[in-house]
Amino acid sequence: AEGLPEVTNDSVCPVDAKEELFEECESIWKQLEECQSKLMLLGTETLLNSDAKLSLLGMQTKALTAECNQWQKRSLEIISTNPDVLLALGKEELEKVKSDLEMVLSTVKSKNKQLEDDLKREQQWHEEQEQILDALNRIEEETKTKVEPLSNKRTFHALQNKVLKLKIYKEEILSALGEFLEDHFPLPKEGGSTKKKKDSSENPAVELITLHEILEILINKLISTPHEPYVTINDSFWPPYIELLLRYGIALRHPEDPNRMRLEAFHM
């Protein structure tokens, strides 16, 4: 480890210090064995009755409690007071700590290196994705500028064709309607004239209009002024035609003025 102090390799304990340490350890071990044997003997004793057993257990509890308190109050004792032994043990402990710290440092460096490599790859991938996104956005804008005018032109031409077809269809329908009405609903003829005769003392006769013309007037009025679709009935409207339109629900009279009528709004 770079930040750790150097520990000398000369950590060999002198022979006398080692022997002294071994002797102290053997003495402590013998004391532990004696305590263990005493505890085994206490555990094998038989009691005559339950009261004596209970009393003995109580005494043992008190003894163990007192011993526990004594151990808690007791300060830590040094195994050996020999400075050579303590120096050797300290060097050995420092070597272990140094080795552990070097291992941790190596692991952290390796992990940091791996994280740096991962970060570089992620940044490169992010840059590539941004470049791809910019390219796609440019392509989309270019496609819109090319496709929208073409699409608008095609839509406009398609609408023009539909309007033209509708106009042609309308003309065909009106022409067929006019032929049908002319064949089946002709104007009345009085003395070979299409004039409505009146008394010779009155004004000249009013010219009647065809059923086709009446329908055109009603249709144009409904389309041009849908809020006011009523048409005033004048002398040029032949009464039988008016009754025909009203009877079959093609036209409706004004609810307040019987001299006005309108076309039924079939398109509503």
- The answer to whether residues 174 and 217 belong to one domain is no
Beta bridge partners of 261: 231, 253
Q: How many CA atoms lie within 13 A of 62 on its CB side?
A: 5
pTM of the model: 0.37
What per-residue confidence (pLDDT) applies to 148?
A: 63
Q: Is residue 167 part of a domain?
A: yes
**DSSP H/E element including 261:** strand 260-263
Note down pLDDT in tens along the chain; length 268 residues: 444 445 444 444 556 766 777 777 788 888 878 877 777 776 555 544 566 777 778 888 888 888 777 777 766 555 666 788 778 888 888 999 999 999 999 999 999 999 999 999 999 999 999 999 999 998 888 877 776 666 677 788 888 889 899 889 888 887 888 888 888 888 777 544 444 444 444 455 678 888 888 988 998 898 888 889 999 999 999 999 999 999 988 899 999 999 999 998 876 5
* 94 and 7 Cβ atoms separated by less than 8 Å: yes
With tokens 């007037």, the residue in question is 217
What pLDDT score was predicted for residue 107? 92
260 falls within a domain:
yes
Token pair, residue 107, equals 């692991």
63 lies in some domain: no
Cβ of 32: how many Cβ atoms within 10 Å?
A: 9
- Predicted local distance difference test score (pLDDT) of residue 242: 92
Q: According to the model, what pLDDT value does residue 200 have?
A: 43
Measured CA to CA, the distance from residue 212 to residue 182 in angstroms comes to 8
In a domain, 164, yes or no: yes
Environment class of 194 (CB within 10 Å of its CB; exposed 0-12, middle 13-18, buried 19+): middle
Domain-located, residue 161 = yes
| Structural domain that includes position 161 | 150-183
**Do 213 and 170 lie in a common domain?**
no
pLDDT of residue 192: 41
pLDDT of residue 113: 92
Q: Which helix (H) or strand (E) holds 251?
A: strand 251-253
21: in domain: no
In a domain, 249, yes or no: yes
Q: Is 176 inside any structural domain? A: yes
